[in-house]
């Protein structure tokens, strides 16, 4: 039987889904529920990460805005100064990403509460955090580890958004009013 690229892609996709599901099944959902409790209490939430974790951060920041919360991405030109009482959600698979560590350190110095989403709860980022939310992607397959972490983080943060939506009584019309309409 000849080798088919479609089969290789399908197999790789299934392997990735199995890995993501394994990680999701190990997540401590109480930590995400605690994050869902913290978000509406913060006057402003800043969400950061670098690379693919940064894309997850930007996506979550957008979801917070859709929920009617005030959210910013550090480094954007319209991002205001952080202050005591604000919340920073810092996302990094390794917990050792330089810019993410710096932003977390700076936020803490400014009196913000820092939540670290990481697969490395003993990392430098985790040591800076007031709250660590572990996404236990393993190092067994280093090539897939980051992808598994980011997909799992995105799914977990969408679950947080769904809980917030219910709590904040976000209906379809209020969601539509906040959704981008200049595109």
Which residues are the active-site residues? 150
How far is residue 131's CA from residue 182's CA, in Å, rounded to a whole number?
A: 37
Say how many C-beta atoms besides its own lie within 10 A of residue 81's C-beta: 7
Three-state SS for the chain is CCCCHHHHHHHHHHHHHHHHHHHHHHCCHHHHHHHHHHHHHCCCEEEEECHHHHHHHHHHHHHHHHCCCCEECCCCCCCCCCCCCCEEEEECCCCCCHHHHHHHHHHHHCCCEEEEEECCCCCHHHHHCCEEEECCCCCCCHHHHHHHHHHHHHHHHHHHHHHHHHHCCCCHHHHHHHCCCCC
């Amino acid at each position: 039987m000849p080798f088919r690229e479609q089969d290789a892609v399908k197999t790789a996709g299934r392997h990735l889904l199995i890995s993501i599901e394994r990680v999701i099944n190990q997540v401590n959902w109480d930590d995400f529920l605690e994050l869902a409790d913290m978000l509406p209490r913060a006057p402003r939430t800043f969400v950061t990460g670098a690379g693919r974790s940064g894309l997850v951060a930007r996506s979550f920041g957008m979801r917070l805005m859709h929920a009617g919360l005030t959210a910013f991405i550090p480094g954007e030109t319209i991002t205001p100064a952080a202050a005591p009482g604000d919340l920073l959600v810092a996302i990094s698979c390794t917990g050792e990403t330089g810019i993410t560590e710096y932003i977390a350190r700076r936020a803490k110095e400014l009196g913000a509460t820092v939540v670290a989403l990481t697969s490395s709860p003993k990392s430098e980022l985790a040591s800076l955090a007031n709250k660590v939310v572990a996404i236990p992607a393993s190092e067994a397959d280093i090539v897939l580890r980051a992808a598994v972490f980011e997909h799992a983080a995105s799914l977990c943060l969408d679950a947080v958004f769904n809980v917030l939506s219910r709590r904040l009584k976000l209906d379809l019309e209020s969601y539509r009013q906040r959704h981008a309409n200049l595109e």
